[in-house]
Amino acid sequence: MGSGTALVASMYHGMDCYGQDINPLAVLISLVKTTGFNSVEFNACLVKTVRRAQEDTSQRVDVDFPGITKWFRNDVVIELSKLRRAILKAKSKVHRRILWVALAETIRLTSNDRTSTYKLHARPLFESVTRTLDVIGTFHDLAVRNLADLNSFKADLSDARHMVRERYRFTAMVDCLSSTEQLLTPKQGERFDLLVTSPPYGDNKTTIPYGEHAYLPLQWIELADIHDAVVANSSWLTTTGGIDRHSMGGVFFERPTETIEKLREASPTLREHLVALADAEPILRRKVVAFYDDFYRSLELISTKLNPNAYLIWTLGNRRVNKMEIRNDAILGEFLGNLGCEPVTQLERIIHSKRMPHKNSSGKTMANEQILILRKATD
């Protein structure tokens, strides 16, 4: 579900909606967007939180993790610790979640990380030490802006009569799950009529490392405020690549021959790509197979949860491996065709602004995305 854009669009139209993601930061943001709250009470909480942080004279740093001195100046970690202590004093988990989202963006803007890509990339030392940063002020401004956005969304839902006493009157459910293992399910015995999603281009580590992007904020956020599953899997956050390794295609072990043959039969395009990669570095071929093994397993699971005549809308991009374009759009269409889905139409979307390097061939390929619309014809 990423940051919950499709969920928000569903709520605008008064639909029951269900979203899941393996990335804890995506789960947190989506929870904030879909959970009702009292604006007056939250505004009072925000004022109190900022005041507590401003009045906190302690120099104690409340978190520690590998690379903390690389990614943050000492004065910044002290101010972030003040904010963290102040947020933890808020009584409502719903309010704390909204505050954590503002803190996450504050961390991104005040860390020593460059903000031009999702991959962590340290600024030059002279730039890091000379920046003028107002950590608490940045947090306050972001929280106020976020509150305005949330209130605008609530007003739209109220105008559409989708709200009852500050809460969305239909179902909006968010969970932290891997789609290769488990899917959220609607009411007992029901299945879905619409799927809207955007899968990775390939394994996150070598395409867009969303997990790495979430690493720094998640070192400061109280994980219990996000989801129990995040607490249970907190070991994923001990390294910058932990989330990405547990994401789709993140483990590159050699798949069994029968698994590879199953994928080749499900997609003639993938079969051609694997033939073309026969003489490439073995790790490259393993990465491609690992990603599509996980991807196809998730599609098999998804197909069992869709009603006949359900629509599937996929936004995805192609990538390059060993100087060859990997046709994710064609492979997805063939995979889904093998699972009883029929194509309706395909559109191209040009991405005018995206945090990725456009100077290399992969960046150029990923600057264009395909939107595939399909319909499930059979069970």
pLDDT at position 179? 92
pLDDT at position 79? 98
pLDDT at position 122? 80
**Residue type for 45, please?**
C
pLDDT at position 359? 45
Q: Tell me if residue 58 falls in helix, strand or coil.
A: coil
Structural domains for the chain: 24-173 (no CATH), 176-208+248-376 (3.40.50)
- The least confident of 37-51, 110-124, 188-202 is 110-124
Q: Rounded to two decimals, what is the model's pTM?
A: 0.91
Find the mean pLDDT for residues 59-77: 96
Query: In the predicted model, is pLDDT for residue 9 greater than 70?
Result: yes
Q: What is the mean pLDDT of the chain?
A: 91
Task: Using only the alpha carbons of the chain, give its radius of gyration.
Answer: 22
DSSP class per residue in 97-143: HHHHHHHHHHHHHHSSB-SSSSS--BPPHHHHHH----HHHHHHHHH
The pair of structure tokens assigned to 59 is 């120099």
pLDDT at position 189? 76
| Rounded CA separation 87/151 (Å) | 21
Helix axes 24-34, 135-159, angle to 10 degrees: 50
Q: Please, which pLDDT band fits residue 270 given cuts at 50, 70 and 90?
A: very high
Q: Please, which pLDDT band fits residue 358 given cuts at 50, 70 and 90?
A: very low
pLDDT at position 188? 76
